[in-house]
Structure 1
Amino acid sequence: MSRAPFQLALLDGVRDRATFNSGSDPLDRYLHEQVTQDVRRRVAACFVATADGTHIAGYYTLASASTGKRLPRHPTVPAIRMGRLAVDQGFKGQGLGSALLADALSRAARPEIAAYALMADAKDDAAANFYRHHGFIALPDSPRTLFLPLATVPAV
């Protein structure tokens, strides 16, 4: 277990993805096998936290989305979707998940990005509770799809 400060960066070929183990097979498999294809096709951006510059302690992905709701004169509401967020088991309990979420919110709330909310897809009830703890609101018809209006994110 490490108490080193984390550095956040876009995923690149220097990072060691093979040793990452969050304990969730779908999240681990995505990082090991799929993420580089999604980044290359520009369907997702992946941000990683490292303690040593090489080994990934945690990651999250962002992609464009829409809520399907309407605003006056707009057929849908633009949003940013956090598709995945995971922390390696060796770094759990250090607040890294919350730090990754804060970084994602900071990026999504930048004024040059036109989006109403950050959406998250919780893989289970524990993940949904994590997002609710951080102020996210569950969609009534889909309790594991949550959102946070970006107007509520403090400016950095």
Structure 2
Amino acid sequence: MDRGILRIQPLATTHDRLGFSCGVPALDRYLREQAGQDARRRVAAPFVATTDGVRVIGFYTLSATSIELSDIPPAQARKLPRYPRLPATLLGRLATDLSVRGTGLGRVLLVDAITRAVRSEIASFTMVLDAKDESAASFCAREGFIRLPGTPIRFVRRMDDLAAVVGAP
């Protein structure tokens, strides 16, 4: 990583998105071309990691979503109200620049996203992640997220469990 203090902050026009490359063209294109629009339209909240306030070395997005009660594992669903859909937080995208691969920045971004989601004053039963590929799916599984049955890429983890991970009440 570049020298400097790592900061994770909302995407701003001052951030250099053009130099970012994670090796997944769809994620690179999203950050360069779509993330700013999504932020302005309030359909996703992109957060970027930087050590100099300009160069983006990682990013993630958060947004509100919902999950079907029938998609929740039965052991957890038994303890929930019978609403057809439950509120959730979507960690839509998470990527790190190739220059910082293997430094643990992906986990730092995940913990930051969890912390922001847990601290939100809006109810959310679970965090949902959609893995882009098997490497991302392995990352989700290593971080304790559970693959939903019948969906090869969708993972969930209860918000109360995540609160314990980040030491929040």
- TM-score band (shorter)? over 0.9
Q: What percent identity do the matched residue pairs reach?
A: 46
Residue of structure 2 equivalent to 1:30: 30
5+ residue gaps, structure 2, are: 71-79
**TM-score in terms of structure 1 length:** 0.94
Match of 1:127 among 136, 149, 153: 136
Give CA deviations for 1:84-141 in whole Å, capped at 9, x if unaligned.
0000011111100000000011111126121011100100011001011000000001
For these two proteins, the number of residue pairs brought into alignment is: 156
Aligned residue type for 1:132:
A
Contact 1:119 1:148 in 2 (8 A): yes
Match of 2:103 among 94, 97, 112: 94
After TM superposition, list the pairs within 5 Å mapping 1:3-152 onto structure 2: 4-69=4-69, 71-110=80-119, 112-152=121-161
Give the CA RMSD over aligned residues: 1.4
**TM-score in terms of structure 2 length:** 0.87
Distance in structure 1 (CA, Å) of the matches to 2:120 and 2:17: 32
Structure with more helix by fraction: 2
Contact 2:20 2:56 in 1 (8 A): yes
Distance in structure 1 (CA, Å) of the matches to 2:90 and 2:34: 17
Contact 1:3 1:94 in 2 (8 A): no
5+ residue gaps, structure 1, are: none
Aligned residue type for 1:37:
Q
Flag as ranges the 4+ runs of structure 1 deviating above 2 A. Answer: 1-5
The verdict on how the C-alpha distance between 1:111 and 1:17 changes in structure 2, with shifts beyond 3 A counting, is closer
Aligned residue type for 2:50:
T
Distance in structure 2 (CA, Å) of the matches to 1:84 and 1:111: 19
